[in-house]
Amino acid sequence: MIRLSSHSSTSTVGDVVLELSEVSKSFGAVRALRNGELTLRAGSIHALMGENGAGKSTIVKIIAGLYHRDAGSFTLDGTEVDFRSTAESKNAGIAVIYQEPTLFPDLSVTENIFMGRQPMKSWGRIDRAAMRKHAQELFSRLDVHIDPDRPAQGLSIADQQIIEVAKAMSLDAKVLVMDEPTAALSLAEVDRLFAIARALRDEGRALLFISHRFEEVYALCDTVTVMRDGEYISTDPIDETDVPSLVRKMVGRDVASLFPKEEATIGDVALEVRNLNSTGTFHDISFTVRAGEIVGLAGLVGAGRSEVARAIFGVDNYDSGHVSVYGESVPRKNTAAAMKLGVALVPEDRRQQGLILDFGVARNLTLSICRGLARFGLLSSKAENLAADGWAQRLQVKSHSLATAAGTLSGGNQQKIVLAKWLAAQPRILIVDEPTRGIDVGTKAEVHRMLSQLAGQGLAILMVSSELPEVLGMADRVLVMREGRITSEIPRAEATAETVMFAATHDRQQVLAATNVMEPTQ
Amino acid sequence: MTALISPARKNPAAQAIETLLKSRETGIVLALLLVLVATTVRSPAFLVSTDGFRDLLLTPAIFVLLAIGQAMVIITRNIDLSVGSVVGLTAYLTGRLFIDFPGMPIPVVIIAGIALGALLGLINGALIAYAKVPALVVTLGTLYIYRGVDVWWVGRKPINASDMPRDFLGFGVSSFLNIPTLAIIAALVLVAVGWCMKTTRGGRELYAIGSDPSAATLYGLRITKRVIHAFVACGALTGLAGVLFAARYGTVDSQAGTGFELISVAAAVVGGIAIFGGSGSVLGAAIGAVLLLTINRALPLLGVQDFWQQAVVGALILGAIALDRVLSLRQFHKLIEIRDNAND
């Protein structure tokens, strides 16, 4: 078995294998990466950390050949490389394990490992026997038992990840990138993956490990690079850092003054969620939102926040638990009933869920109230335009006319339309999921001002957000989720980047222990 | 840890039987046998007479070729709706060549038909791969365009049996060792394509692309090239089918092949080709074609009225899709279960 030592290993860190310097990448007007810096050495496991949207995935995709950098240098073994496809990156000895395993569900495990690079016999035939044998050798090196003939469909995420690792090993990759490989794994599976990672390191390969979990980074990695807002912040040996300093680097902004929420009188309990469970997605979710209150739902991507929001609104079903609005219970998986009770959801992906891109502005604005507008089941354009015009003016939506297709508007204006659409239905409870993702700073402030005003008028707001400044600035209370569970509930006065980040990366026991230690000293 | 322990070694015979029972094709073969037995009991000439046996193999031959081509395309998560029009064009080309170039050798005509089919397939594939338009839309467009060209070309001069050499027409109904030549051709094509799909990189990559296109991108597979290959192969097989259509039926008007595209899709789906790509075999699609055409011939003999025959075919398609859905749902639930067990 592979030894279980951690970062304090004696393995010699070797030469620089991969180096990114001043790399930048933009998508339209959005600069996803400004100055990416990364240096990977042979025989080293390097951690890459940062908040959501810090630019980690962009770096991974540039290394993998999925994106092409706009500027900067990218060298492999000292020579400049210019990957135009994943095949080129792969041929150069780089293997990437993505957060979501990318396997072919219908094909066998063996085929998944060797697809595109199968060993051949004469007549252009695939040498199935050799391929199968090679797969078995890889599995025995990894010390796992997976039937090489079974289809990839139905494998657990952990086993799928093992197959990704086997794929990387079969490439004999010099560089192995692991993008949050542990997000869906149990403790035992994480241990197994780490043992494999250390063995690969000891063979002299360079590994890049992306994770939000500090304990994993400290257990596995020897060096850590922090990124923030698409920029390189620092690279340090792991021994010379500690969690608070890393968190400070990751957050690094003056967050308190950015989004001040106006004071509002907090009223009755508007939304009550009790013991909500959905197998495999979230567990034991209980909280309340009062009238006039904004409750922030924070956590890392994949923590299950959007799923909770969708379940409350009735988009998805849940296994057990109870949701009520002003004392009236909300039936499960029934969005019409939820809307009738005054619940509105502004979804995360407005392009897919919130807007009908081909419809005009007016039709989109009135979609949620078209029943009320209709006479004898028929909609008149006049009534539609009349109702829409008021909202478009109130929210200052900038479009040529009310007939302009929503898909042609800017992200900020699209978001305003989605909001207006729901506000037109006069909800009592508003759930917003990532209300300002991908919109410019100016519109962001407008959206925040709107939310704050609405709360002032007595609306109860549940705000799912991955942006810490937004959560800290807007929320009266912050609920933090991690891996499908609420780990902490933090009142506005105590909510800081550090407390929220800590709760998002530790389980409930650890959070409770930490607060108990902290309290007496305060 | 949820790794699977490989099953204990069983004796080869038992294992072969188990594989046979589990394979998706077995169900269709059983359905085919059921139809054959039921019809033969009712009217023995259906199978036992020389003509009956010949028709059993001869009638589906052309559709087996179409189903194989269609299966290759559907496996890549695409579809080719222009098949019927391609049959019309290549069948007419066949007759035209015999009229305009008397004495042209039959093999040259066959190759010309295949080449035209391949070219039409290339147009489909290139439009889909480069213009990034869904195959459903592109081939729906070329269905009408190819048919329009066909109608214009045929004009008022359809091909009659008398326009084609006797050798060629004889070839359409000839037999070798009592097995119709067309059926032998279809079987040879089936073996060749089946072999390619199973044992070459190109074949396996077609499955991979259909199974998960985004994963195929991450694997660095050349998706554009492979998808075009699939459409060219489908076109070529359809072209061959068009030539055989001319040989078998002797008359080709501007409506020849109309509606064949839907029969080929139905055969593939009934034969276990998943409509979202990635799974199924060309063997299954071929048996699916045989099943559909045999049912078509059997139902009148079983006293089923005309309008019900269409409904039976429809029910078969729905049944096949429902079966695939049930199977994949079961897989999905297994996945969730395993994942939850692993997390607790």
Residue B13 lies in a domain: no
* A104/B207 Cβ within 8 A: yes
* B200/A158 Cβ within 8 A: no
Euclidean distance between CA atoms B84 and B91, whole angstroms = 11
* A87/B220 Cβ within 8 A: yes
**Pick from A86, A120, A124: CB nearest B217:** A86
pLDDT at site A130: 92
Contact, B189 vs B240, CB < 8 A? yes
Helix, strand, coil percentages (3-state) for chain A, rounded to 5, are 40, 25, 35
Q: Which residues of B touch A140 (CB under 8 A)?
A: none
For B153-291, list the strands marked E by DSSP: 175-176, 179-180
What's the mean pLDDT in B292-302? Answer: 86
**Pick from A90, A156, A279: CB nearest B2:** A156
Choose the mutation target among A66, A107, A113, A192 for the interface with B, i.e. most B CBs under 10 Å: A107
- Helix (H/G/I), strand (E/B), else coil: A456: helix
AA letter at B208:
A
What are the tens digits of pLDDT across the range B52-81? 888 888 889 999 999 999 999 999 999 999
* A128/B211 Cβ within 8 A: no
CA–chain centroid gap for A65, Å, is: 21
Q: Which residues of A touch B281 (CB under 8 A)?
A: none
Give backbone dihedrals phi and psi of B94, rounded to 5 degrees, phi first: -55, -50
Euclidean distance between CA atoms A419 and A447, whole angstroms = 9
Residues 6+ apart with CB under 8 A from A93: A76, A171, A172, A173, A174, A175
Residues from B in contact with A at Cβ < 8 Å: 1-7, 199-201, 204-205, 207-208, 210-212, 214-222, 274, 278-279, 331, 334-336, 338-340, 342-344
Closest by Cα among B254, B242, B245, B84 to B152: B254
Euclidean distance between CA atoms A469 and A445, whole angstroms = 12
Q: Which residues of B touch A145 (CB under 8 A)?
A: 3-6
| Listed range (A156-165, B166-175, B335-344) with the worst mean pLDDT | B335-344
What 8-state DSSP symbol labels residue B162?
G
Contact, B271 vs B280, CB < 8 A? yes
What angle (nearest 5°) sits at the alpha carbon of residue A185, between those of residues A165 and A91? 20
Please compute Rg for chain A using Cα positions.
25
Nearest-CA residue of chain B relative to A182?
B343
Any idea which residue has 């608070």 for tokens? A244
Nearest-CA residue of chain B relative to A159?
B3
* A64/B342 Cβ within 8 A: no
Nearest-CA residue of chain B relative to A278?
B340
* A158/B2 Cβ within 8 A: yes
**Pick from A85, A126, A188: CB nearest B201:** A126
Euclidean distance between CA atoms B344 and B341, whole angstroms = 5
Nearest-CA residue of chain B relative to A185?
B343
Integer CA distances (angstroms), A232 to A221, A340, B55, B337, in order: 18, 48, 74, 41
* B331/A147 Cβ within 8 A: no
Q: Which residues of A touch B200 (CB under 8 A)?
A: 124-126
Task: Say if residue B149's pLDDT is above 90.
Answer: yes
Q: Report residue A334 as tokens.
A: 């029934």
Q: How many domains does chain B have?
A: 1
For A211-310, list the strands marked E by DSSP: 223-228, 231-237, 269-278, 282-290, 294-299
What angle (nearest 5°) sits at the alpha carbon of residue A192, between those of residues A190 and A198? 100
**Pick from B205, B274, B331: CB nearest A116:** B205
**Pick from B3, B220, B342: CB nearest A90:** B220
Closest by Cα among B269, B265, B262 to B325: B269
Q: Which residues of B touch A120 (CB under 8 A)?
A: 201
Euclidean distance between CA atoms A215 and A221, whole angstroms = 10
Contact, A274 vs A322, CB < 8 A? yes
- Helix (H/G/I), strand (E/B), else coil: A221: coil
pLDDT at site B185: 94
Residue B187: how many other CB atoms lie within 10 Å: 15
Residue B72 lies in a domain: yes
Any idea which residue has 């199978």 for tokens? B47
Q: Which residues of B touch A125 (CB under 8 A)?
A: 199-200
Q: Which residues of B touch A144 (CB under 8 A)?
A: 1, 3
CATH number at residue B192: 1.10.3470
Euclidean distance between CA atoms B268 and B64, whole angstroms = 10
Euclidean distance between CA atoms A150 and A133, whole angstroms = 14
How many angstroms separate the CA of residue A313 from the nearest CA in chain B?
23
Q: Which residues of B touch A157 (CB under 8 A)?
A: 339, 342
What are the tens digits of pLDDT across the range B266-282? 999 988 898 888 989 99
Residue B45 lies in a domain: no
How many angstroms separate the CA of residue A275 from the nearest CA in chain B?
18
Residue B18 lies in a domain: no
What are the tens digits of pLDDT across the range B217-237? 888 889 999 999 999 999 999
**Pick from A64, A111, A147: CB nearest B204:** A111
pLDDT at site A8: 41
Q: From its phi and psi, is residue A50 left (phi > 0), alpha (psi between -120 and 50) or beta? A: left
Closest by Cα among B156, B208, B162, B108 to A103: B208
Using 50, 70 and 90 to split pLDDT, how confident is the model at B340?
A: low
Residue B30 lies in a domain: no
Residue-range domains of chain A with CATH = 16-103+175-251 (3.40.50.300), 253-342+427-522 (3.40.50.300), 352-426 (no CATH)
Q: Report residue A238 as tokens.
A: 């792991």
What angle (nearest 5°) sits at the alpha carbon of residue B151, between those of residues B148 and B153? 105
Any idea which residue has 């259509």 for tokens? B245
**Pick from B1, B2, B207: CB nearest A107:** B207
Contact, B92 vs B159, CB < 8 A? yes
Beta bridge partners of A223: A46, A237
Integer CA distances (angstroms), A471 to A354, A475, A478, in order: 22, 5, 7
Choose the mutation target among A85, A99, A102, A106 for the interface with B, i.e. most B CBs under 10 Å: A106
What are the tens digits of pLDDT across the range A94-113? 999 887 778 998 899 999 99
What 8-state DSSP symbol labels residue A350?
I
Q: Which residues of B touch A192 (CB under 8 A)?
A: 1
Q: Which residues of A touch B216 (CB under 8 A)?
A: 104
What 8-state DSSP symbol labels residue A151?
B
pLDDT at site A171: 85
Euclidean distance between CA atoms A317 and A334, whole angstroms = 9
Euclidean distance between CA atoms B72 and B233, whole angstroms = 8
* A102/B218 Cβ within 8 A: yes
Query: Which alpha helices (H) appear in chain B, and where do they start and end?
Result: 12-22, 24-42, 50-75, 83-100, 106-131, 135-154, 166-173, 181-199, 201-211, 213-218, 223-249, 260-270, 282-301, 306-343
- Helix (H/G/I), strand (E/B), else coil: A488: strand
Q: Exposure of B166 by Cβ count < 10 A (0-12 exposed, 13-18 middle, 19+ buried)?
A: exposed
Please give the average pLDDT of every successive group of 10 residues along chain A, which has 522 residues.
Answer: 40 80 82 87 92 81 91 91 89 86 88 90 89 91 84 79 86 88 73 88 92 85 90 91 82 55 84 90 92 91 86 90 92 89 81 64 68 62 70 65 67 74 83 77 74 88 86 90 90 86 82 65 36
How many angstroms separate the CA of residue A16 from the nearest CA in chain B?
26
* A150/B4 Cβ within 8 A: yes
- Helix (H/G/I), strand (E/B), else coil: A299: strand
Any idea which residue has 């210019």 for tokens? A82
DSSP A76-92: ETTEE----SHHHHHHT
Any idea which residue has 């000895």 for tokens? A93
Instruction: Dihedral sign for Cα A312, A313, A314, A317, please.
Output: negative
Closest by Cα among B123, B113, B162 to B145: B123
How many angstroms separate the CA of residue B218 from the nearest CA in chain A?
6
Choose the mutation target among B24, B75, B196, B199 for the interface with A, i.e. most A CBs under 10 Å: B199
How many angstroms separate the CA of residue A164 from the nearest CA in chain B?
11
pLDDT at site A377: 62
What are the tens digits of pLDDT across the range A353-402? 566 666 777 777 666 665 566 666 666 677 677 667 776 666 666 665 66
Euclidean distance between CA atoms A505 and A500, whole angstroms = 9
Residue B84 lies in a domain: yes
Residues 6+ apart with CB under 8 A from A445: A259
Instruction: Dihedral sign for Cα B32, B34, B37, B39, please.
Output: negative
Residue B58 lies in a domain: yes
Residue A29: how many other CB atoms lie within 10 Å: 8
Using 50, 70 and 90 to split pLDDT, how confident is the model at B246?
A: very high
Euclidean distance between CA atoms A204 and A197, whole angstroms = 11
Euclidean distance between CA atoms A398 and A394, whole angstroms = 11
What are the tens digits of pLDDT across the range B5-38? 444 445 667 777 766 666 667 778 888 888 888 8
pLDDT at site B6: 42
Closest by Cα among A493, A462, A428, A57 to A298: A462
Euclidean distance between CA atoms A79 and A73, whole angstroms = 10
Euclidean distance between CA atoms A471 and A454, whole angstroms = 16
* B335/A155 Cβ within 8 A: yes
Residue B2 lies in a domain: no
What are the tens digits of pLDDT across the range A239-287? 998 887 887 888 775 444 456 677 778 889 999 999 999 887 899 999 9
Euclidean distance between CA atoms A323 and A313, whole angstroms = 9
Please compute Rg for chain B using Cα positions.
22
Long-range pairs for B303-310: beta carbons < 8 A, 24 or more residues apart: B303/B42
Euclidean distance between CA atoms B331 and B344, whole angstroms = 20
* B216/A189 Cβ within 8 A: no
Contact, A36 vs A73, CB < 8 A? no
B111 lies in which domain range? 50-339
Give backbone dihedrals phi and psi of A478, rounded to 5 degrees, phi first: -120, 125
Give backbone dihedrals phi and psi of A393, rounded to 5 degrees, phi first: -70, -45
What's the mean pLDDT in B188-200? Answer: 95
Euclidean distance between CA atoms B281 and B71, whole angstroms = 8
pLDDT at site A247: 79
**Pick from A90, A105, A159: CB nearest B2:** A159
Euclidean distance between CA atoms B317 and B324, whole angstroms = 11
